[in-house]
Amino acid sequence: MSSPVDYTIGGVKIQFPCKAYPSQLAMMNSIIRGLNYGQHSLLESPTGSGKSLALLCSTLGWQQAQLAKLQEQTGSTGDKSQSSKNPGKKSDRQ
């Protein structure tokens, strides 16, 4: 079994569970570029080429990078949005 590998693509650190195929690296590059520019991406690759893994790892890496940027801008270290909304108030639904 291969050991995890970290890639940096488009300034985004991507944690990948094994050495990526060249087609997966190209796909992750397209995914990161699309996410950075808010564009759609049409990706095509044969069955068994690792599309799902490339998609998941690159989007999760991008999401973590965006969260880190947001926390850096606001000086925040944690997500308090859920706990600070109406503390102690119960939902009207039952």
Domain boundaries, the chain: 5-72
Give CA–CA dist 36/72, Å, rounded: 18
pLDDT by residue for the chain (94 residues), tens digit each? Answer: 679 999 999 999 999 999 999 999 999 999 999 999 999 999 999 999 999 999 999 999 999 999 999 999 988 665 555 544 455 555 555 4
Q: Residue 75's pLDDT is what? A: 83
Using DSSP, state whether 5 is helix, strand or coil: strand
Nearest Cα to Cα of residue 20 among 46, 58, 47: 58
Q: Residue 4's pLDDT is what? A: 95
Q: Residue 59 corresponds to which tokens in the numbers above?
A: 């989007």
**What residue spans of 1-94 are helical by DSSP H?**
22-37, 51-74, 81-84
Answer for the pair 14, 28: CB distance below 8 angstroms, yes or no.
Answer: yes
Using DSSP, state whether 13 is helix, strand or coil: strand
